[in-house]
Amino acid sequence: MSNNKRKSISYAKWGYIFIAPFFIVFIFCSLIPLVSTFYNSFFENYRDGLTQVGPNFVGLENYKKLFTPDNSGNIQVIDYTVNTMIMWVMGAIPQLVVALLLAIFFTANRLNIKGQAFFKTVIYMPNLIMASAFSMLFFTLFSNVGPINQIISSMTGEVYDFFGKTVSVRSLVAFVNFLMWFGNTTILLMAGIMGIDQSLFEAASIDGATSTQVLFKITLPLLMPIIVYVAITALIGGLQMFDVPQILTAGHGNPNRTSMTLVMYLNNYISTSKNFGMGGAISAIMFVITGALSFVVYKSLVTDDSPKKKVKKSKGAELL
Amino acid sequence: MRNFKKTLALLSSLAMAGTMFAGCGGGGDTTATTTAGGDSADTTAAAGGDSAETTAAAEGGDSAAAADEGKVFNIYAWNEEFKGFFEKYYTVPEGITVNWIINPSDGGVYQEKLDEALLAQADAAADDKIDMFLAEADYIKKYTDTDATLDVTSIGVQKADTMYQYTVDAASDANGVMKGVSFQCCPAALIYRRSIAKDVLGTDDPAAVQDALSDWSKFESVAATAKEKGYYMTASYAETYRTWSNNATEAWVDANNNLVVPQAMKDYIAQAKNFMDKGYTLTAGVWDDEKTAQMFADGKTMCFFGPAWYYNFSMGNAQDPEKGCSGDWAIVEGPQAYFWGGTWLLGATGTDNPTMLADIMNTFTVNEEVCTNLVKNEMQFSNNTKVNEAVAADPEYGNAFLGNQNDTAVFCELAKNIKFENKTKYDQLLNENITTVFLDYFKGTISEEEAYANFYKFVSEKYPAVTVPAQ
């Protein structure tokens, strides 16, 4: 008996050793920076030219400053959060829909698409290019003297000022993000679909289920965990949206700061004056927003009875 | 099924087209950086793309450096302009390697990198210490007023009478201690296209053109005529900005660190809005491709504003042998005399090459042969009154780019009026961004009040030490 006990203890030890690298890396590269960001947000700490100011403890002063409404009654942090979310939703919804469609096409046995490897590579390709290079390209394409405007002006005689209108700037940002990430999402969703037991699809086809029924009764419910994962990672990535709007609008969030995202706002504080106090405060707010939204997404997509149970029930019902 | 295939084919061809374009984007990155301007360099920095370090091998020559001094001479700069002159006209002492660390100026990237290096200077290894760095008029005060810069007269740099006084003032701290020198003097002019002037004004003779453009109301009425004939007066909404800002009678930031928008900037805003509304100017930024494209022979823009370095360094399109129009240009004082930019060489405290540092500074200011070369071969206006006046009086000299006009003679007159006043260490971002932040207002998207509020927001984010009016 004592022998038995020792054995189990020693197994546990190896388990801990095997998972230790992750925790060590996590503590040093994520947890400590995270805590120090919160810590920094309570200090006045910036550079004025070559002179360092602070760090002086100021309590919640930085947060107060962030939440003070301006003359027109708007709170900037909230405005920029809304901007970020709008641009994210504009990109993420088509991204999910297109990726889902592609994933279904690619995995459908009845379609049996040829040259899959080629297409998968191609749709994944944009993700390999630096976001800054990609946005630079779009900036050039859609600028007032760019090729798109040359086409437009040759047809209508007028130049469309893409970077002067809220709708077009936001759409461009969303489109670039969509283009960069739908391939990635497709690959994830395909992996999810391929993980579903083939016998379910076979059973469904024997029972005479239509493609739509298969999609809504089998594929989607079983894919839910992956969709939730994709949605939450996309959300976190979306809240950190920076490079694309930064480059498309030269850091100004034109027009009238309507495409300014939270991280661009953060960058304004950090880049010139190394204002770690305000930067920390914005980061802390972003952390809270990210946490809250992830929770909402998780709760709204994962229902009480786990998806698996549901499908088992329905499968059982069909088999009866 | 057919539809599926069709949709799939469409989607994948779209994706392919996307990747194709993206490929081009990666390749054309260098030119692209200038177009976007702004903070774009921040992101590229993350990928390690933005700091170009180039090492110039040491060439033989007279060994001016003392034997016990450092073997590596580090120079921080924001473009290749001075590097070009340095490699052409300065003989590096034997055994010394010159290391250029070049970061773009856009959005203050150059200053960020430089500041980091200067703050780490005390702890850096001798060969890694900055020996010399370049600074522009907009932010030179940030460095001259600190201990990061060195009293260069103490290492043998001459405070020569031939230097323009404003270049000395700019490089001196509050107590008048000289921290560096400039190799150029930057009186700025109105640069016009001769052929367009002929069409609009009936003459391209500089004296007559100056008469027609000698104040802003005349400038505006000529702009109206130019528009009728299908031309633009200027190519950028910020084209005339420096004529206003460098003549401002108040500083951006007052003694109590409050932001005060000087009257000159308000006048600029009124003018730019007016010109945009009336279609006298293109809506390009001052460094945009859309503007520089106007310098080609088929451009429709009559006036550009800039000093000697501008047409030497920034009007490459006009000098293009095929599409350009070299010789079709001339300069006049224009509505308002002003100066723009200028590159100062500052000595960094802690340098391990003081002899070479002093030698470089003296070479580009008091060595008459080098200064004459700068003027005659490089289209510069040197910081040596004697050389400039000799060239101005030389009947043989003419600048081919300006249709053989003697530009040095024009600049000699303009240089007399330059004063370096009302500058603060915050000027660069304020000057660069007031024009871009107000662009929404110029385009009519937002009201003037909103534009001011946006500008104040920008300043409060960038400079926490500056108090801005409530927005």
- Domain of B375: which CATH number? 3.40.190.10
User: Is B146 within 8 Å of A46 when comparing Cβ atoms?
Assistant: no
Confidence of residue A317 (pLDDT cuts 50, 70, 90): very low
User: Is B32 within 8 Å of A136 when comparing Cβ atoms?
Assistant: yes
More confident residue, B27 or A71: A71
ipTM above 0.85, yes or no: no
Least confident of A51-65, A299-313, B39-53: B39-53
Q: Is B149 helix (H, G, I), strand (E, B) or coil?
A: strand
Q: Specify whether B447 is located in the same domain as B307.
A: yes
Q: Specify whether B192 is located in the same domain as B167.
A: no
Which residues of chain B are within 8 Å of residue A242 when distances are taken between CB atoms?
43
Q: Is B53 helix (H, G, I), strand (E, B) or coil?
A: strand
CA distances from B57 to A47, B92, B268, B355 (A): 36, 9, 47, 19
Is A80 at the interface with chain B, CB within 8 A? no
User: How many H-runs (helices) and E-runs (strands) does chain A carry?
Assistant: 15, 2
**CA B56 – CA B463 distance, rounded (Å):** 37
Confidence of residue B39 (pLDDT cuts 50, 70, 90): very low
**CA B139 – CA B22 distance, rounded (Å):** 37
Q: Specify whether B154 is located in the same domain as B276.
A: no
pLDDT at A21 > cutoff 90: yes
**CA B192 – CA B331 distance, rounded (Å):** 6
- pLDDT cut 70: percent of chain B above it: 85
Whether the CB-CB separation of B42 and A267 falls below 8 Å is answered with yes
Whether the CB-CB separation of B380 and B306 falls below 8 Å is answered with no
Whether the CB-CB separation of A114 and B8 falls below 8 Å is answered with no
Does a structural domain hold residue B297?
yes
Optimal mutation site among A75, A140, A169, interface B, most CBs of chain B within 10 A? A140
Which residues of chain A are within 8 Å of residue B27 when distances are taken between CB atoms?
none
pLDDT at A282 > cutoff 90: yes
pLDDT at A1 > cutoff 80: no
Q: Is B174 helix (H, G, I), strand (E, B) or coil?
A: coil
* Pairing outcome for strands B234-236 and B338-339: unpaired
Whether the CB-CB separation of B36 and A136 falls below 8 Å is answered with yes
Residue A136: closest CA among B22, B102, B108: B22
pLDDT score of A3: 52
pLDDT in tens, B138-168: 888 888 888 888 888 888 888 878 888 888 8
Which residues of chain A are within 8 Å of residue B458 when distances are taken between CB atoms?
252, 268
pLDDT score of A10: 66
Beta-carbon contacts of residue A153 (< 8 Å; ≥ 6 apart): A159
Amino acid at B188: A
pLDDT at A23 > cutoff 90: yes
Give contacts of A 211-240 with B, CB under 8 A.
none
φ/ψ of residue B30, rounded to 5 = -65, -45
Question: What's the per-residue H, E or C state across A66-130?
Answer: HCCCCCCCCCHHHHHHHHHHHHHHHHHHHHHHHHHHHHHHHHCCCCCCCCHHHHHHHHHHHHHCC
pLDDT in tens, B108-139: 788 888 888 888 888 888 788 888 999 888 88
More confident residue, A8 or B430: B430
Which residues of chain B are within 8 Å of residue A48 when distances are taken between CB atoms?
463-465
Whether the CB-CB separation of B301 and B233 falls below 8 Å is answered with yes
Optimal mutation site among B2, B3, B7, B42, interface A, most CBs of chain A within 10 A? B42
Confidence of residue A320 (pLDDT cuts 50, 70, 90): very low
User: Is B43 within 8 Å of A246 when comparing Cβ atoms?
Assistant: yes
Closest-approach residue (CA) in chain B for A127: B19
User: Is B38 within 8 Å of A250 when comparing Cβ atoms?
Assistant: yes
Beta-carbon contacts of residue A162 (< 8 Å; ≥ 6 apart): A142, A143, A148, A149, A168, A169, A172
Is A247 at the interface with chain B, CB within 8 A? yes
pLDDT score of B1: 47
Beta-carbon contacts of residue A125 (< 8 Å; ≥ 6 apart): A183, B15, B18, B19, B22
Confidence of residue B268 (pLDDT cuts 50, 70, 90): very high
Cβ density class A284-315: b for 16+ within 10 Å, e for less: bbbeebbeebbeebeeeeeeeeebeeebeeeb
Measure in Å the smallest separation between the Cα of A291 and chain B Cα atoms.
Answer: 26
**CA B54 – CA B232 distance, rounded (Å):** 40
Q: Of B393, B413, B434, which closes a domain?
A: B393
Does a structural domain hold residue B288?
yes
Q: Which helix (H) or strand (E) holds B93?
A: none
DSSP secondary structure string for all residues of B323-336: T--TTSEEEE--SS
Arithmetic mean of pLDDT over chain B: 81
Residue B92: closest CA among B394, B329, B361, B359: B359
pLDDT at B22 > cutoff 50: no
Q: Is B79 helix (H, G, I), strand (E, B) or coil?
A: coil
Average pLDDT over residues A238-257: 89
Confidence of residue A279 (pLDDT cuts 50, 70, 90): very high
pLDDT in tens, B60-101: 334 444 557 788 889 999 988 888 888 888 888 888 888 899
Residues in chain B: 471
More confident residue, B256 or B10: B256
pLDDT in tens, B223-264: 999 999 999 999 999 999 989 988 888 889 888 888 989 998
Residue B133: closest CA among B349, B412, B399: B349
Q: Is B184 helix (H, G, I), strand (E, B) or coil?
A: strand
**CA A85 – CA A90 distance, rounded (Å):** 8
Q: Specify whether B257 is located in the same domain as B237.
A: yes
pLDDT score of B42: 38
pLDDT at A111 > cutoff 80: no
User: Is A126 within 8 Å of B436 when comparing Cβ atoms?
Assistant: no
The CATH homologous superfamily to which domain A61-319 belongs is MetI-like (1.10.3720.10)
pLDDT at B43 > cutoff 50: no
Optimal mutation site among A120, A244, A252, interface B, most CBs of chain B within 10 A? A252
Q: Specify whether B225 is located in the same domain as B262.
A: yes
φ/ψ of residue B191, rounded to 5 = -105, 120
pLDDT score of B81: 86
Average pLDDT over residues A38-46: 91
pLDDT in tens, A142-172: 988 889 999 998 998 888 888 888 999 999 9
Least confident of A16-20, B122-126, B438-442: B122-126
For residue A155, the 8-state DSSP code is H
User: Is A137 within 8 Å of B24 when comparing Cβ atoms?
Assistant: yes
Q: Where are the domains of chain A?
A: 61-319
pLDDT in tens, A114-142: 888 888 888 888 888 888 899 999 999 99
**CA A192 – CA A200 distance, rounded (Å):** 14
Q: Specify whether B264 is located in the same domain as B375.
A: no
Whether the CB-CB separation of A144 and A161 falls below 8 Å is answered with yes
pLDDT score of B9: 61
CA distances from A124 to A120, A241, A282, B16, B19 (A): 6, 19, 33, 10, 9
Total domains present in chain B: 2
Which residues of chain A are within 8 Å of residue B119 when distances are taken between CB atoms?
50
Does a structural domain hold residue B298?
yes
Average pLDDT over residues B299-308: 90
pLDDT at A101 > cutoff 80: yes
The two tokens of residue B179 are 């921290």
Q: Specify whether B149 is located in the same domain as B118.
A: yes
pLDDT at B404 > cutoff 70: yes
pLDDT at A255 > cutoff 90: no
Measure in Å the smallest separation between the Cα of B462 and chain A Cα atoms.
Answer: 6
pLDDT in tens, B376-390: 888 888 888 888 888
pLDDT at B26 > cutoff 60: no
pLDDT score of B178: 87
Residue B458: closest CA among B287, B284, B259: B259
pLDDT in tens, B328-373: 999 998 898 888 888 898 888 888 888 888 888 888 888 888 888 8
Structural domain boundaries, residue B58: 52-185+341-393
